[in-house]
Structure 1
Amino acid sequence: MDNRAEVSAFLKSRRAKITPEQADMPVHGRRRVPGLRRGEVAVLAGVSIEYYTRLERGNLRGVSDGVLDSLAQALRLDETEREHLYELARAANTGPARARRHPKKTPVRPGVLHIIEGLRDQPAYIRNYRTDVLAANPLARALLCTVFEVEPANTSRFVFLDPRAPRFYPDWDRVAREAVGALRVAVDRNPGDRELSNLIGELSTRSSAFRTLWGAHDVRACADGTKRFLHPVVGELELIHETLDVPGDAGLCLTVYSADPGTPAADALKLLAASAATQSQADNAA
């Protein structure tokens, strides 16, 4: 990734999202930009317009933490966006990352596998920062059945390249934005990962939706929330999800879905578990 181009595009995209009214800035005359002007951001950050112009041209070399904090406050960056800005500054000061090849699959420790296998009533799976699904319990495989039809399973490829994804995820637009935002965080933390770069290139080449969202330069960290599915077996269900980093395994995270007891989603999960068990018995008997 070209660090200067990424810095420039990110700062411009954040500046464009803030109106003068939101920043309590006076409005004079006709404006040619949708958000704040460079000079207005400079005033809010407490730097000269010349200095801010240098930053927005992509040069973060030698920028202090104090300036980065002031810039983040001026642009109203959330925690994930602020960390993205700091990652860009670190990359600018350490030079271009050398491309490195990682193993396509990081082994999942037996103890972690026991954890997800023990969650019999909750879909649970392990993925890496490239969104490859490395391990899943039977209920997760049943829930994400369409994702697992293509091996190796990769949630980003499914979201953007499988024509069934918009139906499988009724809130596909939100799911897609979250997927792109998470990949941007992954690129921040692993700038020299060749397989990750190849994934971004593949999605950019094959999906116009991905190209558009990637060009928005949004970053997201989705640790929890709800997700709706339109499942081919049990129909529509809305599940709570939690995503946690796996201690001791950098880049791996555990996602667990659940439903409140007595809800239609809980009944659907029970039905899905029974269906998966029946299918497993049929497969073993074959």
Structure 2
Amino acid sequence: MNDEPVTTPAEGVLVLAATPIGQADDAPPRLVAELAGADLIAAEDTRRLARLAAQLGVDVRGRVTSYFEGNEAARTPGLVERLVAGGRVVLVTDAGMPSVSDPGYRLVAAAVEAGVRVTSVPGPSAVLAALAVSGLPVDRFCFEGFLPRKAGERSRRLQALAGEERTLVFFEAPHRTAAALAAMAEAFGPERRGAVCRELTKTHEEVRRGGLADLAAWASAGVRGEVTLVVTGADERSPVTDAAALRAAVEAEEAGGRTRKEAIRTVATGLGVPKRTVYDAVHGVGAGR
């Protein structure tokens, strides 16, 4: 009879660790413990990780590997193998929670598929921080991430959201902020309320609130730093009927390949507006031409 003890492999775990979006002092104590105890740390930017570890006084003993948009597909299988073998893998991105407009989803999905436990270290989030300081309704909201870079695609995305009643949150690059706000003013109406939250939690934090047209005019002078945009939802009692916004919506649909008739029907259905109202806006009926 074999009396040798039966051993089972250690349980691997994937830890999604939120990192500060501005000040290192915002890091939770558990982040320090996870960085120090990880078998392997997958970092969006290994140099940023090294700086953060130095600021937090962490002695990183585990192996560190890069894991970013350009290599995550290639690196994911190896990380899953390490997890299945019992490793404790910590995933960090440049700021905030991994997988929220950052690398992470692909690895989480693969780990779940492999039966690996996934947990998180909660911490700073630009989405929640912006909502909290925006002054806009926060009881119901949706996160839309980054808007498309191309003007036509961006316009179509915004037109699809014009009737959304929940508060909207977007990430945006500083050099595209003015154009994004102008497109929002066109799609949602110039008076729709919004907030531009810049450099949240950092030394030069700034929150600019106002109508979308006014915010677009302000941003036209240039915006610097990390930007999160918050826009109040549509008032269900006040559907989008501004002629300029309706024309822009139809033009965006036509740019996507629809005929004018199809575009008018799509916009009317999407915004809950009578087709005749959209038709009149497109053809200038009642505009005194």
TM-score by length of 1: 0.29
Q: State the structure with more CA Rg.
A: 2
TM-score by length of 2: 0.28
Larger proportion of helix: 1
Larger proportion of strand: 2
